Chains A and B, each alone.
Chain A
Amino acid sequence: MTPGLINANPVVHETKARSVRTESTDENSVDEFDALEIFDILSQSCNHLNVVSEDDIDVDNKSSHVRVTFTPTVQHCSMATVIGLCIRVKLMRCLPPRFKVDIRVAPDSHASEAAVNKQLSDKERVAAALENPHLVEMVERCLQERDG
């Protein structure tokens, strides 16, 4: 009864070499949250499908707001909501609670863009989804480290 995969053989992208920054160890300076840091968090799990890139992340440290725009692999990707959910869960776990996280599908990248966006920003539905053991298991599997 397993439904056929919509994108059974996705193109797996090589992870691009990125600028590696050297972190300061100076106690007096403050490292603000930025797009690269969020990207690093996300790239630990779901980057190899090129769903999110560094440019798609906006961070406003002052007002504690993060917006992530992701691009599903194909137009009719049924996994779009799951991918969005994964990103939300990952950020929920890795960012301090003060941050408000907004997750959106990139414009014109998905057939039912509006519906997916609405679903992803609906707190109730996210909470409900996370009570569904099957969904949670799927999300957990997605979030496992790549080499784990």
Chain B
Amino acid sequence: MAGSSSWIAHIDSFVDADGPETKQAASRDVISKLLLNETITLQQLVVVAGKYLTSSDNTIRARGLLLLAELLHDLAEKPLEDSAIHSLATFFSDRLKDWHSLRPALIGSIALLKRQKRVGAVQSEDVKAIGKSFVDEVEVQALSQRDRMLSLELYECLLFLHGSSIKEMGFDVVVGIIAAIDGEKDPRNILIAFRLVEQLIALFPEPDGPVKENAKSIFDILSSYFPITYNPPQAHRGITREDLSSALLKVFCATSWFAPFCFTEFLEKLSSTLQSAKLDALRYMGHCALSFGPEAVSMFFGDIWISLKSEMFRLEDGILDPKDVQIREEAYSCFTHCVEVSHKDRIIKDQAMGELLKLVLEDLDMVYFLGQVKMDVEQRNGIDYLSADSKVKALGRILGAAARASTAACYFVTKTYFSYLIPSVGSAAESSGPLVEAIIPATGLRATLQILEGANRLAHSLADDCNRSSDDLTSRRWLEPITEAAPVLIKCFIQFAVGGATKMEFSTAGVAGLQTLATFPAVLSPVSEEQLETVLTSLTVSFLDKSRGSDVKDQALGAILTASNLEERTSNFSVDEPPRKRGKVDVLHTVIPKLLGAVQESQSAEPLKSLLHALAALSKHREAVRLIVLQALGDDISSKLGRKLVSGDRDFELEKILLILRSLGGEIIPFCEVGSIDQMAACDVVMDVWRTLGSLCDGLVYIPIDIFLPLMTLVRVTVQKCTEKLQSMILAEGLRVLKRKSSSGHMMTNEPNGCEAPSAEAVEGREWCVALIASVVVGLLPSVLSAEKEYLLRLFVSTSIADLEPVITDVAAQAAASLLNKWQEDKLGRNQGDICTLDEAVVIAVEEGWLPRVEKVLAGNGSYPESVEKLAVRSVYALALTGKALAMRGHSRVSEIAGLMLRLLQSQTTAFKRGKPNILDSEGKLEEASQSAVGKIAVESFGIIVKDHSTFLSKSQNATVKPLYKQRFFTSMLSPLVEAVRVVGNQPSRIWFHRAFASLLSGTSLVAALTEAQKVFPFILEGLSTLCLYPEDSDYLLQMLLALSSFLVDENRGRSIAAEYVQSMVTRLIPLVQYKSSMVVRESALQCLAAIVGLPFTRVFPVKSQVMKAITAALDDKKRLVRGEAVRCRQVWSAISSK
């Protein structure tokens, strides 16, 4: 019992209201621990604390009670005896009367009420005692926010956890809650209040219960919040207006007893001028109507219709702002909900039209409108303009909104509306005279479209809803009116879409109508197969029609695409459902053949382009379409190409072939999936191309560059996604063609495994063949390359430095690099005799191929003929790619290649010095020397090694990639570059190394740069001051600035480094703020300056005046974006003065 006095001391220290809060909390924790591990009992505690609990000092009594209440909270999981709980409950219910210790009493009561059965819960009698005492004694609205919240929480506990006990209190508790929430203003409390009311309604569902009796008072309290206006600060992360609004909506929807008051309130708010109030009123009205059901709402249909109608008519007038558009949407969706309610539980019988719909159809405006439609039909009033009358527009929309409400509503709307159209229409269709155009008069066109659209949406929602009883799906009675009208409708729409309708808006309307009819879900379609075929055909014709504007064509294509996507979706979903009702009438079998036929027949480039584009769009998401398109387009293209190549004609036929090739390579094959059936078709196209080229009579056929560029793309994208087997097939066929060419055209003989280097002359005349094979090799899987790889390597190396088009030499260099990257060697070395190892391959490519060309330049000391330079540039490019290929697979020889690049840069510096003995007097020469082509490519080569390329040496081209190779390369290059700069004394000649560094930075992740921050940061600063000398270096400069800014925002390491260089950063950035050649540089410099402010104050403040001066000049920059940046920058700098 040594502890006994100490825990009593803890009680004392908790009750002492003047003590520090932390001490109080610590004391409570100690006591709570003792209680939990049963060192002391609750009884002991109460005995000891008794003097506080009954003290006459208000503060002490409250503290004592608070201790007990908080301890009870801690003991929530600890079993207590029923007698103890009973006495505690009695005590706390009594304490609720004590105004001074109300808060602890509330906390304690809540803790008691929250106890669960298994640890001993409060008995029903005690619950009632607490409830009664609470309702009688506590006036909630007179309390502070915190106490009100506790009170509402207490009610929550009573209602949610002890509902059955509290229900016996009946009237009292309802009145108590009404009083408690009346006038509540705090959003947190309001949310609880809403929950309380909801639960109250659920607790007293009796029609003669206390809630029903008080429904009006409850509603009055709730309605004062409607519409919710709550604007929390922008950065606020607590309760939002939406939370409150949806909670209130839930309460309103909770019982139909609110109906009599609700709709009056909503309708009143709807007539307000506030847009947000309108929006809320409409939203609430729709939802409430749905939850209340037809009986409760029916008496308001008249008022609802009148208000909605006037609102809808108003919204059709003039231009709407975005909020009005939202209101319009909400108004129609509210209307749809109301119509849906009025048709709830009604089946389609001719008398059983819902009250609201009846009102709508018997409305004077509607009757007049329908009469007008009928009259126009009878008088065959031709269509010359689409009515701009706002009423006509609104009534059309209203009919459409009603049609999408429910099957019954749709039935009545369509039946009524088409009854005005169909009889007269029937006779007109029979006569089939020229007046057939007037069948749907201008007045009714919009309404017709809207109704069909509504029916379409309804059909889709029915078809998508899996839980829907099959009645709606099987009984297609509601579609009957549309089915009856369909022949006439289709005829009219076709007339508009395809026929002689002169005005755009009618063509558009026609296409829209056809689209709606074609995109009904297959199970619920009002059109027959033949009709669907007609519709799809007409859409196709409308798309192909040359006289149409591009808008109509796009719309028709959009319609076909929608129909196609719908087919794809349903074919995916309905695997286990019975086969589709429709046979073979779909986009695949109706539209695609027509489009393909049109491709064959097309005679000029523009329509062909749009046709191919349409085919690509259709095949993008559907494998079946892709297959057909690939087969059809690829079919005879290569034979035609062959003929054209032999004859050498450059006519439209050739251009057509090229367009098709581009479309295949660019838009269709890239979407094929590896191993799919359409992949085979793509492979067939490529094989056909090879065969055709192989069969060309002579090896000396010249293929112009514009023809083989699309061929190269086609081959590349196909190979990249093929399986291993198909790849080797394509490669073998290509090699066969190449070898036949070379043996027949030249005396060059290459036995299959011959490793003799083909000479440059041998390549001549069949460079296109090499380029195509190079495109194949670039994307091959490593395992496909086998015996021929040495031969191929030599071929590509020699081609890459031959005197050919750059396109060919580049792709040859890429292929050679890809070969080296994917070179597979046996672990045991060269046991297969004639296949050389990777190291030997590198020797073949680098030392025998490219290096000698570069050495010539190095030896030439700055003076060399142009041809030598050209060769050297190509070799450097190839070497850079090889460097990348080796770096990617982690091969060490990349460092030799990088070393060579550094030597090249070094030679540029010496050339620079010689070419320019005196910096001050020959500007022209300086320019010249800083622009040498070899130097440039050497600089770029660093970027080539670290950057990603999409068409070669990438993951998608099946390259070997080791992780973090870029970082490793960056780190290994850093020291040599820094050293090189140190050795070169004079500043302008260092520029080559700084450019190389910027180029290196452009592809490296900045994480790598940050790990080497100590070395990198000063180097960047030095680079900034050097690179700003020449305008052509603006890209490199930008690269440096980006790196600098990433240092400035890096919290961990970058900022601490940057803090040491504030002064030198500022001196370098200030000239860049005025950099003439690039506004992006100016902007970035300002951003960097703004970021500097975040560095330690003592370093930043001294440079403030210097920076402010520079920024003030930038405020007058000629570009607005720079000025904006300057304003922001100035703002952050001026803010630091007040520190």
Given contacts A94-B1127, A147-B235, contact A23 B1121 (CB under 8 A): yes
Q: Assess whether B1120 is in contact with A93, with CB atoms less than 8 Å apart.
A: no
Q: Assess whether B1079 is in contact with A147, with CB atoms less than 8 Å apart.
A: no
Q: Assess whether A146 is in contact with B234, with CB atoms less than 8 Å apart.
A: yes
Instruction: Report the nearest A residue to B1034, measured CB to CB.
Output: A27
Q: Assess whether B1121 is in contact with A97, with CB atoms less than 8 Å apart.
A: no
Report A35 CB to chain B, min CB distance, Å: 13
- CA distance in complex: A23, B1118 (Å): 12
Which residues in B have their C-beta under 8 angstroms from that of A24? 1119
Q: Assess whether B1121 is in contact with A93, with CB atoms less than 8 Å apart.
A: no
Whether B963 is near chain A, meaning CB under 8 Å from some CB there, is no
Which residues in B have their C-beta under 8 angstroms from that of A40? 1124
- Main SS of the interface on chain A? loop
Whether A127 is near chain B, meaning CB under 8 Å from some CB there, is no
Q: Assess whether B1078 is in contact with A93, with CB atoms less than 8 Å apart.
A: no
Which residues in B have their C-beta under 8 angstroms from that of A124? none
- CA distance in complex: A97, B1123 (Å): 13
What's the A-B contact tally at a CB cutoff of 8 Å? Answer: 43
Q: Assess whether A93 is in contact with B1130, with CB atoms less than 8 Å apart.
A: yes
Produce 1/0 per residue, B1110-1123, CB < 8 A to A.
Answer: 00110110111101
Whether B1077 is near chain A, meaning CB under 8 Å from some CB there, is yes
Which residues in A have their C-beta under 8 angstroms from that of B1131? 93
- CA distance in complex: A25, B1123 (Å): 13
Q: Assess whether A31 is in contact with B1077, with CB atoms less than 8 Å apart.
A: no
Given contacts A94-B1115, A147-B234, contact A23 B1120 (CB under 8 A): yes
Whether B1134 is near chain A, meaning CB under 8 Å from some CB there, is yes
Instruction: Report the nearest A residue to B323, measured CB to CB.
Output: A14
Whether A98 is near chain B, meaning CB under 8 Å from some CB there, is yes
Q: Assess whether B1127 is in contact with A31, with CB atoms less than 8 Å apart.
A: no
Given contacts A17-B322, A94-B1130, contact A25 B1121 (CB under 8 A): yes
Given contacts A94-B1115, A96-B1115, A147-B234, contact A27 B1077 (CB under 8 A): yes
Report B1072 CB to chain A, min CB distance, Å: 15
- CA distance in complex: A53, B690 (Å): 69
- Main SS of the interface on chain B? helix
Whether A95 is near chain B, meaning CB under 8 Å from some CB there, is yes
- CA distance in complex: A23, B1119 (Å): 9
Q: Assess whether A31 is in contact with B1120, with CB atoms less than 8 Å apart.
A: yes
Instruction: Report the nearest A residue to B275, measured CB to CB.
Output: A14
Which residues in B have their C-beta under 8 angstroms from that of A17? 321-322
Which residues in B have their C-beta under 8 angstroms from that of A31? 1118-1120, 1123
Chain A residues within 8 Å of chain B by Cβ, number: 19
Produce 1/0 per residue, B1064-1104, CB < 8 A to A.
Answer: 00000000000001111000000000000000000000000
Report A78 CB to chain B, min CB distance, Å: 25
Given contacts A41-B1127, A147-B235, contact A93 B1134 (CB under 8 A): yes
Which residues in A have their C-beta under 8 angstroms from that of B1134? 93
Which residues in A have their C-beta under 8 angstroms from that of B1121? 23, 25
Q: Assess whether A30 is in contact with B1112, with CB atoms less than 8 Å apart.
A: no
Which residues in A have their C-beta under 8 angstroms from that of B1077? 27
Which residues in B have their C-beta under 8 angstroms from that of A12? 231
Which residues in B have their C-beta under 8 angstroms from that of A41? 1127
- CA distance in complex: A94, B1131 (Å): 8
Instruction: Report the nearest A residue to B1083, measured CB to CB.
Output: A25
Q: Assess whether B322 is in contact with A25, with CB atoms less than 8 Å apart.
A: no
Report A57 CB to chain B, min CB distance, Å: 15
Q: Assess whether A27 is in contact with B1112, with CB atoms less than 8 Å apart.
A: no
- CA distance in complex: A41, B1126 (Å): 12
Whether A60 is near chain B, meaning CB under 8 Å from some CB there, is no
**Candidate in A95, A96, A146 with the most chain B CB atoms within 10 angstroms:** A96
Interface residues of B in 536-591 (CB under 8 A from A): none
Q: Assess whether B1112 is in contact with A25, with CB atoms less than 8 Å apart.
A: no
Produce 1/0 per residue, A96-125, CB < 8 A to B.
Answer: 111000000000000000000000000000
23 pairs, CB–CB < 8 Å, chain A vs chain B: A12-B231, A17-B321, A23-B1119, A23-B1121, A24-B1119, A25-B1080, A25-B1119, A27-B1119, A30-B1118, A31-B1123, A37-B1120, A37-B1123, A40-B1124, A93-B1127, A93-B1130, A93-B1131, A93-B1134, A94-B1130, A95-B1115, A97-B1112, A146-B234, A147-B234, A147-B235
Known: A94-B1130, A96-B1116. 11 other contacts (CB 8 A): A12-B231, A23-B1120, A23-B1121, A25-B1079, A27-B1077, A93-B1127, A94-B1115, A94-B1127, A95-B1115, A96-B1112, A147-B235
